[in-house]
Amino acid sequence: MLVFILKRLFNAAMVMLAVAFLAFLIFRAAGDPVEIMANDQMSIEDKEALRDSLGLNDSFVTQYLRFVGNAARGDFGISYRNGQKVLGLIADRFPATMELVLVATILSLVIGIPLGVLTAIHRGRWHAEALQFVSIIGVSLPSFVVGILLILVFSVILGIAPAFGRGEVVDLGWWSTGLLTPSGRAALVLPAISLSLYQITLIMRLVRAEMMEVMRSDFVKFARARGVPRWRIQFRHALKNCLMPVITMTAMNVGALIAFALITETVFQWPGMGMLFIQAVTFLDIPVMAAYLCIISFIFVTLNTVVDIAYAVIDPRLRHATR
């Protein structure tokens, strides 16, 4: 068991090193940062001093190792665009993205699971088939299209929900939350729905597939033979056995949701990490791009590793199945 956990952790560390290498390559690929930062008044000596202070005159390997060392301590340097510390910039935006992702995840579970059960137990009836077809459309709609359509209907035509910004926020220490004010909650509604729609359809289809399989199993037949009421079989016996993969997928997808939030954030002008990243991309603000890539991948890899280990703790058969 210990060997398995160590192997998993080692794997995760290797992936993170590779991601850091990619992030480091971005620096090399984007050309000379001094030329981007410098203004017209700077002399060649000034530029050279700046180059030295940024450590750009060292060897490739030294620069990479220093990058990894700094990144591990959370130091991603200063933004090319406004000279502020990158980690501070991202920390400012972190709560906005996490609140959006959290609410979207809760929404997708609360809506997706009942819909999945419904389409499974009412299979063949017209409303279940209609829902199933709608779910294909839900998977096909890109999230920016969902956002635009929501804005068009609820903000432009009906005028009942704000289309951009985060509303009023309250500072709780280093965390700023929009959940405590009415305008903050109102601003969260459309972005959260738009981000969760894809997730809702995924969970719905997963629950449906799992339910249909479980309902065919022996213990369900036995429960039916014992005369347990139908709804009780469906919601107590069968649903319980479907939840494990649903929880796994939800946990693993939080990382993907944070990444996809950048599209939702752009549509709704939501001041989160994703918008920071897109602005950094258009300005070629490399330190911010690299830091975002590393942080998102870190969350992604951590979640996957934790889920893997948790699975192995619960189900011993998996310990030997994976190398």
Q: Which of 5, 8, 30, 243 binds another protein (CB under 8 A)?
A: 30
Based on the shown chain and the rule CB under 8 A, indicate whether residue 307 belongs to the binding site for another protein: no
Based on the shown chain and the rule CB under 8 A, indicate whether residue 302 belongs to the binding site for another protein: no
Instruction: Say if CB 27 and CB 291 are below 8 A apart.
Output: no
DSSP class per residue in 1-28:
-HHHHHHHHHHHHHHHHHHHHHHHHHHH
Binding range to another protein, per CB under 8 A, among 74-82, 95-103, 220-228, 293-301: 293-301
- Residue 158 DSSP symbol: S
| 250 contact partners, CB below 8 Å, separation of at least 6 | 105, 108, 109, 199, 203
Residue-wise over 75-85: b if at least 16 C-beta within 10 A, else e?
A: ebbbbbbeeee
| Residue listed under structure tokens 């980690």 | 87
DSSP class per residue in 38-86:
--TT--HHHHHHHHHHTTTTS-HHHHHHHHHHHHHTT---B-TTT--BH
Based on the shown chain and the rule CB under 8 A, indicate whether residue 149 belongs to the binding site for another protein: yes
Q: Which residue, 234 or 253, is less far from another protein as judged by CB?
A: 253
Q: Which of 63, 181, 183, 304 binds another protein (CB under 8 A)?
A: 304
Q: Which residue, 144 or 235, is less far from another protein as judged by CB?
A: 144
| Residue listed under structure tokens 């299979």 | 123
d(CA 69, CA 72): 5
Using the Cα atoms of residue 30, residue 32, residue 38 and residue 41 in order, give the sign of their dihedral.
negative
Instruction: Say if CB 256 and CB 57 are below 8 A apart.
Output: no
Q: Which residue, 199 or 234, is less far from another protein as judged by CB?
A: 199
Based on the shown chain and the rule CB under 8 A, indicate whether residue 134 belongs to the binding site for another protein: no
Binding range to another protein, per CB under 8 A, among 81-89, 104-112, 240-248, 300-308: 300-308
Q: Which residue, 4 or 260, is less far from another protein as judged by CB?
A: 260
Q: Which residue, 166 or 205, is less far from another protein as judged by CB?
A: 205
- Least separation in angstroms between residue 39's CB and another protein is 20
d(CA 289, CA 191): 23
Find the binding residues for another protein in span 150-179 (CB under 8 A). Answer: 151-152, 156, 163
Q: Which residue, 6 or 170, is less far from another protein as judged by CB?
A: 6
Give the N- to C-terminal CA distance of the chain in Å, as an integer: 13
Based on the shown chain and the rule CB under 8 A, indicate whether residue 68 belongs to the binding site for another protein: no
Q: Which residue, 108 or 143, is less far from another protein as judged by CB?
A: 143
Helix (H, G, I), strand (E, B) or coil at 175: strand
Based on the shown chain and the rule CB under 8 A, indicate whether residue 212 belongs to the binding site for another protein: no
Where on the chain is the footprint of another protein (CB under 8 A)?
15, 18-19, 22, 26, 29-31, 133, 136-137, 139-145, 148-149, 151-152, 156, 163, 255-256, 259-260, 262-263, 266-267, 278, 281-282, 284, 289, 293, 296-297, 300-301, 304
